[in-house]
């Protein structure tokens, strides 16, 4: 049993602290957000993530998991300290390291003996060294810094954490490497041991590569639409090549969003720029993605005419992907804004993310819970997130409730032939 502190209990920190507690460690989760900590101590979980609520409750009850705002006490009583605070993008695309630096300052003030400081936040190359320098200015004793980027996916975060594809441990210290390797031993995964900078780069390279796959297949989808080919079959055909792989991120849609891909692509562009490396692929990935987020409007206009004023449009899906309540950089929000700019009347539905979306959309749209009611009198239905609930809907009832049977499917969730049989005017992506 290890004594662990996890600083920042957002998506990554809360999953990390809870899962390490579940694995038998004594874990303190720390955040500066007093309300978040109060709620967690009452068993109220700030995010939706499958299985997380039960695990938090169970481990709080067993005494393995505790939440506080007292970073000093947490640092003093722990041997292993994770940094899991946000690293949001700045206006120029570079990474805002203020939260990481502020945590390093607090650790430097509180540290009272040898500890391993593990950075889990996604940070630019060299940040491990910055953290080391900040702490050493305040503390002259022995400590080590490790880069241990996180690869969990929102929506499957708990199971990703417990069964990771790989674990990256970057450090120059043999002692710290052994401590962190041991900490992860029960996960039964491949551990890649590297230096700090390599570990930091593996995270950016992975996310930027996944984003590249998405923009690549979206460009193929755009060709498919011009020539009358089917992108889902192109993707299927590509994935059977073992060098590409069955799980390749080749699903055409309305672009990537979320808190990671947009930020990390920008972050890697900035890293390349600072190091005088030409990495024009990434500029194209970004360009393609923002164009893709605009691509539904012409499709909607081809069904409803150019003037969308007062048209009743229903949007299914607000979260940037299914099984999460995260709406950060969600394509749905871009589409809704474009429709509101054209004075359309918007009704939205999302199984989980409505409360988060309300913080951004306020009263500019109508919120509905029931799928059939949401399309009552609608001129067009748009699919913006591929929630399973949407795929299994009774299409007969949907058609009956709509004023006009128009569907623009930004996630290719429906079968094209079936939609024709039901009598919908149906447009999707690259098919
Ligand atoms: P988040 O915004 O959900 O959570 C960050 C938390 O840190 C917040 O609760 C905030 O209050 C807290 N915080 C900020 N300053 C603090 C301080 N000084 N002391 C204590 N707490 C503080 O962020 P997230 O989505 O969990 O991401 C965290 C990091 O992990 C980022 O670098 C992100 O890129 C990376 N990451 C995220 C994901 C993901 O799916 N969300 C996956 C892998 C990696």
Each residue's pLDDT tens digit, 317-333: 999 999 999 999 999 99
pLDDT at 115 exceeding the cut of 90: yes
Active site residues: 260
Give mean pLDDT, residues 350-372.
Answer: 97
**Where along the chain do the CATH 1.10.1040.10 domains lie?**
203-292
> In 10 A of CB 187, how many CB atoms?
15
Q: Cα 208 vs. chain centroid, distance in angstroms?
A: 13
Nearest residue (by CA) to ligand 1, atom 27, is: 86
**Chain-wide mean pLDDT for the chain?**
97
Give span(s): CATH 3.40.50.720, the chain: 3-194, 294-427
Q: Whose CA is nearest to atom 3 of ligand 1?
A: 10
The residue contributing the CA closest to ligand 1 atom 23 is 86
Per-residue model confidence (pLDDT) at position 93? 81
pLDDT of residue 94: 87
Minimum-distance ligand 1 atom for the alpha carbon of 69? 20
Sign of the alpha-carbon torsion through 255, 260, 263, 268: negative
Q: Can you tell me which residue has the tokens 């190359």?
A: 125
Is residue 17 within 6 Å of ligand 1 at its C-beta? no
Q: How far apart are CA 378 and CA 405, in angstroms?
A: 8
Q: So what's the pLDDT on residue 396?
A: 96
CA 239 to chain centre: 23
**Alpha-carbon distance 249 to 180, whole Å?**
30
pLDDT of residue 138: 96
Least confidently predicted of 41-50, 132-141, 206-215, 356-365: 41-50
Which residue's structure tokens are 């709620």? 39
pLDDT at 92: 85
pTM for this predicted structure: 0.95
**For a substitution probing ligand 1, which of 28, 67, 75, 85 has the most ligand atoms within 8 Å of its CB?**
85
State in words which class domain 294-427 has. Answer: alpha beta
**H-helix or E-strand containing 403?**
none
Summarize pLDDT for 262-301 with one digit per residue, the tens.
999 999 999 999 999 999 999 999 999 999 999 999 999 9
Whether residue 91 has pLDDT greater than 90: no
Q: Does domain 203-292 have CATH number 3.30.200.20?
A: no
Residues 6+ apart with CB under 8 A from 267: 89, 93, 94, 95, 122, 124, 204
Neighbours of 12 (CB within 10 A): 25
Atom 8 of ligand 1, residue of closest alpha carbon: 10
Q: Reply yes or no on whether the pLDDT at 188 is more than 90.
A: no
Ligand 1: distance of its center to the CA of 263 in Å?
Answer: 13
Residue in this structure with the two tokens 């600072």, named with its chain if needed:
274
Cα–Cα distance measured from residue 385 to residue 391, given in angstroms and rounded to the nearest whole number: 10
Q: Between the CA of residue 215 and those of 204, 262, 382, what are the distances in Å?
A: 16, 12, 21
| Ligand 1 in reach of 154 Cβ (< 6 A) | yes
Compute, in angstroms, the gap from residue 102 CA to the centroid of ligand 1. Answer: 13
Write down the CATH number for the domain with range 3-194.
Answer: 3.40.50.720
Looking at the chain, how many residues does it have? 431
Side by side, which strands form the sheet with 366-367? 366-367, 345-349, 312-316, 380-383, 406-409, 425-427
Per-residue pLDDT at 24 exceeds 90: yes
């Amino acid at each position: 049993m290890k004594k662990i502190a996890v600083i920042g209990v957002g998506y990554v920190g809360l999953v990390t602290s809870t899962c390490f507690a579940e694995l038998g460690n004594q874990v303190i989760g720390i955040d500066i957000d007093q309300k978040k900590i109060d709620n967690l101590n009452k068993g109220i979980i700030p995010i939706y993530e499958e299985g997380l609520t039960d695990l938090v409750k169970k481990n709080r009850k067993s005494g393995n998991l505790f939440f506080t705002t007292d970073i000093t006490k947490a640092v003093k009583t722990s041997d292993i300290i994770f940094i899991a605070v946000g690293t949001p993008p700045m206006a120029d695309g570079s990474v805002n390291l203020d939260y990481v630096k502020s945590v390093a300052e607090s650790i430097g003030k509180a540290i009272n003996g040898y500890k391993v400081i593990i950075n889990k936040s996604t940070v630019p190359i060299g940040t491990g060294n910055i953290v080391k320098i900040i702490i050493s200015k305040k503390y002259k004793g022995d400590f080590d810094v490790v880069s241990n980027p996180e690869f969990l996916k929102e929506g499957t975060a708990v199971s990703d954490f417990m069964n990771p594809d790989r674990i990256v441990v970057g450090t120059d210290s043999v002692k710290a490497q052994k401590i962190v390797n041991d900490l992860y031993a029960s996960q039964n995964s491949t551990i890649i041991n590297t230096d700090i900078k390599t570990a930091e780069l593996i995270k950016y390279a992975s996310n930027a590569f996944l984003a590249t796959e998405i923009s690549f297949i979206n460009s193929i989808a755009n060709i498919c639409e011009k020539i009358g080919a089917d992108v889902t079959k192109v993707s299927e055909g590509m994935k059977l090549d073992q060098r590409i792989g069955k799980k390749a991120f080749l699903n055409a849609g309305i672009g990537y969003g979320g808190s990671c891909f947009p930020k990390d692509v920008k972050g890697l562009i900035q890293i390349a720029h600072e190091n005088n490396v030409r990495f024009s692929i990434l500029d194209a990935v970004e360009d393609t993605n923002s164009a893709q987020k605009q691509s539904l409007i012409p499709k909607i206009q081809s069904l409803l005419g150019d003037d969308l004023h007062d048209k009743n449009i229903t949007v299914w899906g607000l979260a940037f992907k299914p099984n999460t309540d995260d709406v950060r950089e969600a394509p749905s929000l871009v589409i809704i804004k474009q429709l509101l700019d054209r004075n359309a009347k918007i009704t939205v539905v999302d199984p989980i993310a409505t409360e988060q979306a309300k913080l951004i959309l306020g009263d500019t749209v109508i919120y509905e819970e029931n799928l059939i009611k949401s399309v009552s009198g609608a001129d067009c239905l748009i699919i913006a997130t591929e929630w399973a609930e949407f795929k299994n809907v009774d299409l007969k009832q949907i058609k009956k409730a709509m004023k006009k049977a128009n569907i623009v499917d930004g996630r290719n969730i429906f079968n094209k032939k079936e939609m024709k049989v039901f009598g919908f005017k149906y447009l999707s992506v690259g098919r």
